[in-house]
Structure 1
Amino acid sequence: MLPIANRVFLGLMGLVLLVLGGSVLAVGLGAPVPSWWIHDSKHDVLLSDAERTRWHDEGWWWPVVIAALAVLLLLALWWLVAVLRRRRLAEVLVDTGDGEGALLRGRALEDVLTQEAAHVDGVDGARAHLKGHRRTPEAHVRLALEPHVDPGTALTDFTTGALAHAKRSAGLESLPAEVRLRGVKHGAERVS
């Protein structure tokens, strides 16, 4: 949903800026003034002296302007970080051995890694996400362990089993992984 919203937002902002900028340029070059234009001729200024200094002596004016600009800056920075940060790796480049490569969907590799990790002895649940670049992916895995399981054994079983299998099947030289382990808490049950 986020990429669609970004494209729609960017498209609308680009269209507004194109219409406004194009009309300013056209009026400045001598084109007839459009009916919706806020000024009467090409010699009008965007803000007159009276408009610029109207609230200059008011005590609330500058704090409101600075607060509004700060909010706009924070929203713009938040949006930029959201756009630049990739949550998941979309595809992995698989070396086919013939000088060419094949693209493997990142979600497919995540699903297989999750399913194999869930079958490790003592693992109650697993979630895997791929990050990084398509030539050098990194796995971020969360394992929920049963209370009786040794975490070291479960981690070794996961790295030698599911992780090694994913690395081999994708033809990767290495597949670094960050594995987070947590214990499953079972609620008390009434025995009758």
Structure 2
Amino acid sequence: MTAVLRIVNRVLLGLAGLLLVVLGGSALAVGLGVDPPSWWIHDGRHDVLLSDADRTRWRAEGWWWPAVIAALAVAVLLALWWLAAVLRRRRLAEVLVDTGDGEGALLRGRALEGVLAAEAGALEGVRGAKASLTGRRRAPEARVRLLLEPHADPGETLTRLTTESLAHARDSAGLASLPAEARLRAAKHGPERVN
């Protein structure tokens, strides 16, 4: 779901950006005196985007204003849906665990998140850890945020996170793989008084 949403976001943003650049660039070019082709929407430098006739053509029709309002309402609803989908981070409610007998068991996502965060937080040099699961219940993905002590080695911490905490979570849930995104942040070191 997240990969599809990411692709849709990039395609829609790319198309919207391309459309705005083409239309804005052409209006700027015509405004600066470039002669437009005969099929273009502008005739020349002093042409307006919408003439009085274009703006008032359908105003007397009974269907015009309801159609305009309906189209704008649909555009606003689609934009709100898109914004909500982008801002919402889906947490995985449950993970399907392979029990080896052809059946399966469901493990609460929050339970696996808690164990993963606790084990990652117990690593040397880690002051605090948070974990969340996203993706599908057959193919979960982990997001781990670590707050490192000032003396911690980020490379070694990341290696231990991968080989210990994530490996234990993957193996205990019977998953073939557990892709993870780790974000490391250093804790601020306060001044110390020396006597």
TM-score range, shorter chain: 0.5 to 0.7
CA distance in 1 between counterparts of 2:193 and 2:75 reads 56
Q: For residue 89 of structure 1, report the CA deviation from its aligned partner.
A: 0.9
Query: Per the alignment, do residues 56 and 88 of structure 1 end up closer, same or farther by CA in structure 2, a change over 3 Å counting?
Result: same
Match of 1:186 in 2: 189
The alignment partner of 1:93 has SS state of strand
Q: Deviations over 1:5-39 (max 9, x none)?
A: xxxxxxxxxxxxxxxxxxxxxxxxxxxxxxxxxxx
Residue in structure 2 matched with residue 104 of structure 1 by the alignment? 107
SS of the residue 2:157 aligns to: helix
Structure 1, residues 93-113: CA drift from partner, whole Å, max 9, x if none?
000011000011111111110
Query: 1:160 matched to which residue of 2?
Result: 163
SS across alignment from 2:119: helix
1:118 aligns with 2:121: yes
Which whole-Å CA distance do the structure 1 matches of 2:114 and 2:126 have between them? 16
Question: Once the 2 structures are TM-superposed, how far is the Cα of residue 78 of structure 1 from its aligned partner?
Answer: 1.9
2:106 match: secondary structure: strand
Instruction: Tell me the number of residue pairs that the alignment of Structure 1 and Structure 2 aligns.
Output: 134
The alpha-carbon distance between structure 1 residues 68 and 111, as it changes in their structure 2 partners (threshold 3 A), is same
* Cα drift, residue 191 of structure 1: 7.1
Report the alpha carbon displacement of residue 188 of structure 1 after superposing the two structures with TM.
Answer: 3.6
Establish whether residue 91 from structure 1 lines up as the match of residue 94 from structure 2. Answer: yes
Q: Report the equivalent of 1:73.
A: 75
**Cα gap change, 1:73 to 1:135, in 2 (>3 Å):** same
Query: Which residue type is aligned with residue 96 of structure 1?
Result: T
CA distance in 2, matches of 1:141, 1:79: 27
The percent of aligned pairs where both chains have the same amino acid is: 64
Which deviations, in whole Å up to 9, do the C-alpha atoms of 1:129-179 show, x marking residues without a partner? 111111111111111111111101101111111111101110111111111
Give the whole-Å Cα distance in 1 for the aligned partners of 2:117 and 2:70.
46
How many angstroms apart in 2 are the aligned matches of 1:191 and 1:103? 54
State the Cα distance separating 1:67 from its structure 2 match.
Answer: 8.5
**Alignment partner of 1:88: what SS?**
coil
CA displacement, residues 47-85 of structure 1 (integer Å, 9 cap, x when unaligned): xxxxxx9x947xxxx8xx968954662344323553695
CA–CA distance in 2 between the matches of 1:128 and 1:67? 45
Q: Flag the 1:158–1:69 CA change in 2: closer, same or farther, 3 A.
A: same
- Looking at structure 1, the residues matched to 133 and 184 of structure 2 have their Cα atoms a distance apart, in angstroms, of 17
Secondary structure in 1 aligned to 2:92?
coil
TM (norm. structure 1) is 0.60
Shift in CA distance, 56/107, structure 1 to aligned 2, threshold 3 Å? same
Gaps (5+ residues) in structure 1?
Answer: 1-52
